[in-house]
Amino acid sequence: MNDSGTTVYLDHAATTPMWPEAIAVMTEELGRIGNASSLHTSGRAARRTVEESREVIAECLGARPSEVVFCSGGTEANNLAIKGLFWSRRAADPARDRIVFSAIEHHALLDPVTWLATHEGARIDTTPVCREGRIVIDALREAVDRDPASVAAVTTMWANNELGTIQPIDEVVAIAQAHGIPVHSDAVQAAGYVPLDFAASGLDAMTVTAHKLGGPVGIGALVIKREIEPTPLMHGGGQERDLRSGTIGVPLIAAFATALQITVRRQAQDVERIERLRQRLVDGVRRVVPDAIVNGDPEPGPDHRLPNIAHITFPGCEGDAMLMLLDAQGIECSTGSACAAGVPQPSHVLLAMGYDDVAARGSLRFSLGHSSTEADVDALIAALPGVHARARAASLVRDAS
């Protein structure tokens, strides 16, 4: 706990607190019975809740209700999109064995693409990124144009989960559409902070999840055009257009719809407020740690970066050490590194941007959300000088030994 005895939560990009209204809707639905696939009265009532929620979600995302396929979350939706598109496109034409994707994708896409390469013979073209964490569009164009008939799918996240850098989705779509190649985008991080219009985007598939929007963990959606028919990952009762079999989680879906509706309704005012909080945070960090480096696109706005993520490198420090020191004072954030068998690994995102291992391991991500306050930011800034001094001293001792 910090001096005020409360936890300061600065990890909203990992998951954000549920809206009270979403909790209330979910709680009410949990008290009801009925399988949405059953034909009796309770089943029909459950189905009505699901379809009304689907309509709300579709309207919020600029999609048709029939394009919203419910999944357990972003990871499943990404797997269904990239594996399903690869399998179906290659089945129609064995020459389509390439996937084009960016070097900074979340592991929910990086890992299934790697799996397809290892187990299914997929050939992978990885699009490089610039120092700000944005894909090099000319490199993507070259990868596609080199042999478009061999490309099964293109996938590029809408906004990066570590940096918050927004990607040029319209340019990606234009390149792929010229050759009739389907495009998928992981919009999990973007959905709460950037207006999304699936129809206007030209995308063929898009991933969203509820728990980044103030909804519950365990529910998300793959928004996918009706004419696109990916190969399902699971087979069973044929729910969700026969793309995602399994009993439908009515309470989760109802809460998802409520959370998304609130988020979209409040988006403009919340984005403005959260951008001010982020600026307060960045200014404070630079004041108390002058050599700190703020990563990603410095410009705000829907063509540049998300308003809620501040990704900062602290030269001479280990990010993991700073994270634990902050956590001991009740301040929660994250590092861009991953852990494999207990060994910290540098962020593949920062490595792709040209950072070396040391800089990549010395970074923290502070992410804000709808419940963040000025007091949260001020608590971080108050704790940071001591935390930074201890972390730097520990690194000097380690380096000297």
Q: Which residues are catalytic?
A: 339
Q: Please report where in the chains the tokens 């699901």 appear, as a residue.
A: 50
Query: CA 374, 372, 269: angle at the middle one, nearest 5?
Result: 95
**Sequential DSSP letters for 89-118:** HHHH-TT--EEEEETT--HHHHHHHHHHHH
Three-state SS for 29?
helix
Q: Please report where in the chains the tokens 């706990």 appear, as a residue.
A: 1
* C-alpha to C-alpha distance for 36 and 34, rounded to whole angstroms: 6
* C-alpha to C-alpha distance for 387 and 137, rounded to whole angstroms: 40
Residue 154 · residue 183 · CB < 8 Å: yes
* C-alpha to C-alpha distance for 322 and 327, rounded to whole angstroms: 8
**Which structure tokens are listed for 76?**
């499943």
297: which residues sit within 8 A by CB, 6+ positions away? Answer: 132, 133, 134, 163, 164, 165, 166, 304, 305
* C-alpha to C-alpha distance for 46 and 53, rounded to whole angstroms: 11
DSSP 298: -
The beta-carbon contacts of 280-286 under 8 Å, at least 24 apart in sequence, are 280/374, 280/377, 281/310, 281/366, 281/368, 281/377, 281/380, 281/381, 282/310, 282/312, 284/377, 284/378, 284/380, 284/381, 284/384, 285/310, 285/312, 285/381, 285/384
Task: Give the total residue count for the chain.
Answer: 401
Backbone angles phi, psi at 214, to 5 degrees: 90, 15
